[in-house]
Structure 1
């Protein structure tokens, strides 16, 4: 709420959380304005609502207060430009279990990382013919079906693309990683992913030394690790299937950039899918990855088409373009040293 008071004398602004008082010349006028409101409506299913309550300490009452506290802090930071709607702020509060301090760190890391990798994270338009072309090749896709725990799956097929196509048609791997970033942004929009988490599957079938030299340079590994860790997501597992010798050193290097908790969630599987089946809900996989007649959502071709169509829906286009074509980001030159720590962090549970 903002309170404006006119009173003779000088202009003075006195600021408290959600209250601003202005002293202006001459007569006294009091004006009240409602605090920030948006059109947020919760869309979680009952299972996800219960998990949010049990694991994240989220319910309708404390959610509103936490978002308002977080929003007020964000608005006060001149060095930070970011959306402040409820949907966006929840994607930081939820994985940080409503800790205000950790959410502050997360939103800074999110924008800092994106500012440092503009070739992957800026000017992203899902309608871009290059992004649609990369999706057609099946390099990366969101699997349409969530598992029994409500987790969302991302499948990356690092060896499926022809190296000459990457070098000559795309002019290098940046378009591939930008497309990957588009899919991650789309997944992060989903409240189920924010609450229940995401699982990544890396299929390395067909991956060779030429893919390594083009895709996984030291610089690209550093960028990818930064983007993965700065994205506000509860990553519940990373599974590498059909791991060839050419990728073993890449994976070992990637793991050195990861935080211990995420590093412990990396699993490698042999050249059969049996081991992968033991770790995930196999019904989420494309038909080509399953035994004959096993129930599933569809084939690789059908899932690729699903991804191409879903990211063209207007809310997805507006969200992704809004994040990457505006003036959002951080200007650390404006950030004061010794920034304050939040006085309340809300209950933080030891549940991952």
Structure 2
């Protein structure tokens, strides 16, 4: 018998109405997906009930899509070892990144049955000391923890608020098209979580050129989920209630306390991240080769000239 966390009422309603979940059929779907995964000679996947259910919900209970997404999840991780391998926290840089408050999952959803909010403040990244891969590595660990603990990211999803105020040239130069492409592939092809929107605030004049580059590597579906609010927080509040936000944006959340809590949680998961090293796909698997070629293919970035370093800064 499949054992799952009970869902709060608002998420249970969303799962049934939007994801086609039928609780009486959960045993069949989870067991069928597990049997398939265990029979794949190239695939070494986690097969616990809750983990597999994440991919079913992320695929709206299409078994074929869930199989594809589960396989993609591990193929992408094998293709990006700089982000998903050797994720230990012993190096001081990881504590600095986690405690900088540059990326925060806010504790409250936007509404009952609504998505979580991820606040990104790139100006808080110290790119003179950390690489973008270091930042993504910490982000990948936080996402893995959410996948283990929080059903909301699969059912209601999450939405980004990206504060571009006070962003430095050094930070922008690290967010090259290569980074955008990797992140887009992960969001579109592998993650079982639901992406609901991107809200940009405190936008700089350079953003128009930057957004042109981003649009060249994202799907039409994602383009429709981009919102630019400038410095008008009242417009942002129409999408994300003020009280959900940190104090710096008129809300109630304390970013420093939140960052400290996440650093502690990351350390609590040390054994989990060690165990993650055993999962993946075999190196000779043909689809892994194809994905590596996709990641290395710069042709999808026509017109971007390969780097944000070509941009002129005011």
Query: When the two structures are superposed, what TM-score results if normalisation uses the length of structure 1?
Result: 0.74
Secondary structure of 1:311 counterpart = helix
Structure 2 counterpart of 1:73, from 9, 27, 36: 36
Match of 2:224 in 1: 264
Structure 2 counterpart of 1:179, from 138, 147, 167: 138
Q: Does the alignment pair 1:301 with 2:265?
A: no
Match of 1:254 in 2: 214
Shift of 1:278: 1.4
Q: Does the alignment pair 1:195 with 2:155?
A: yes
Secondary structure of 2:97 counterpart = helix
CA RMSD of aligned residues (A): 2.2
Q: Does the alignment pair 1:240 with 2:204?
A: no
Q: CA–CA distance in 1 between the matches of 2:274 and 2:228?
A: 35
Q: Provide structure 2 residue ranges, at least 5 long, that are not aligned to the other structure.
A: 288-314
Structure 2 counterpart of 1:333, from 258, 266, 285: 285
Q: CA–CA distance in 2 between the matches of 1:150 and 1:329?
A: 34
Q: Does the alignment pair 1:120 with 2:83?
A: yes
Q: For 1:1-352, what aligned pairs fall within 5 Å after superposition?
A: 40-126=3-89, 128-148=91-111, 149-162=113-126, 166-167=127-128, 169-170=129-130, 172-189=131-148, 190-213=150-173, 215-229=174-188, 230-290=190-250, 296=252, 298-313=253-268, 316-323=269-276, 325-331=277-283, 333=285
State the Cα deviation string for residues 120-153 of structure 1 (Å, max 9, x = none). Answer: 1112235653222101111111112223224221
Secondary structure of 2:230 counterpart = coil
Instruction: Give the greater-gyration-radius structure (CA).
Output: 1
Q: Is the 1:160–1:206 contact (alpha carbons within 8 Å) kept by the matching residues of 2? A: no
Q: CA–CA distance in 1 between the matches of 2:90 and 2:26?
A: 34
Q: Is the 2:33–2:52 contact (alpha carbons within 8 Å) kept by the matching residues of 1? A: yes
State the Cα deviation string for residues 175-234 of structure 1 (Å, max 9, x = none). Answer: 112112222222233112211111111111111333211x21222222222222221111
Query: When the two structures are superposed, what TM-score results if normalisation uses the length of structure 2?
Result: 0.83
Q: CA–CA distance in 2 between the matches of 1:206 and 1:152?
A: 25
Shift of 1:74: 1.1
Q: Provide structure 1 residue ranges, at least 5 long, that are not aligned to the other structure.
A: 1-36, 336-352
Q: Is the 2:88–2:273 contact (alpha carbons within 8 Å) kept by the matching residues of 1? A: yes
Shift of 1:85: 1.0
Shift of 1:251: 2.9
Aligned pairs, number: 284
Secondary structure of 1:267 counterpart = strand
